[in-house]
Amino acid sequence: MKNKLEVCSCCGKLVPADILEISFKFPDDIAKLREPERSSRIKGNDDAVALDSTRYFVRGLIPLPVNGRDIPYCIGAWAEVGIDAYRRIYELWDDESQGNESPFQATLANSIPGHHKSNCYGLSLQLTGPSTRPDFKVTDEATELFKQQTTGITLHEVDDYNSWFR
């Protein structure tokens, strides 16, 4: 069965109508470790990990509005946070009112294809609820990812993101 195709409004290219989303399994600095070193150096789970008990990471989403769609395209990524933020996020993880917490300062911990040195972009990490991953807002205004998050992307750009992981 073939995917339904739509015409991209910016270029006329036919792109898949179903929006798949890319996701990173680990922060880059953890992904490059080999087993069993990785297992011995990290503690945590699929949503939060500590590397050598000195670096702390939280998994979340970078939402990108899609022009002409109600639902954003989200990149599943990791952010590095300080120990105090990590502890506070852990305290609030199952709290229904965690979304009321002020955003945390963070740094993107993954290299997003097509975005040079994105693994050091500044982020604002906002908790959203106990059954959803936090939202990451790019704070480095000079970056294309900030622009995309602010103004939106086309279906063509969605297809470009997905092509990196095909």
User: Tens place of pLDDT for every residue, the chain, 166 residues?
Assistant: 355 666 666 666 666 656 668 899 999 999 999 989 999 999 999 999 999 999 999 999 999 999 988 889 999 999 999 999 999 999 999 999 999 999 999 999 999 988 888 889 999 999 999 999 999 999 999 999 999 999 999 988 888 888 876 6
Question: Does residue 12 sit within a domain?
Answer: no
Contact 64, 153 (CB under 8 A): yes
Residue position matching structure tokens 């709290």: 95
Question: Does residue 11 sit within a domain?
Answer: no
Question: Does residue 132 sit within a domain?
Answer: yes
- Model confidence over 13-45: pLDDT tens digits? 666 656 668 899 999 999 999 989 999 999 999
Question: Does residue 154 sit within a domain?
Answer: yes
Contact 11, 158 (CB under 8 A): no
The count of other CB atoms within 10 Å of the CB of residue 40 is: 10
How many domains are there within the chain?
1
Question: Does residue 10 sit within a domain?
Answer: no
CA angle, 105 then 43 then 28, to 5°: 60
Question: Does residue 29 sit within a domain?
Answer: yes
Question: Does residue 9 sit within a domain?
Answer: no
Question: So what's the pLDDT on residue 107?
Answer: 98
Among residues 147, 66, 58, which one has the least CA distance to residue 103? Answer: 58
DSSP 3-state of 149? helix
Contact 156, 15 (CB under 8 A): yes
Domain that holds residue 140: 22-163
Question: Does residue 7 sit within a domain?
Answer: no
Question: So what's the pLDDT on residue 88?
Answer: 98
Question: So what's the pLDDT on residue 78?
Answer: 98
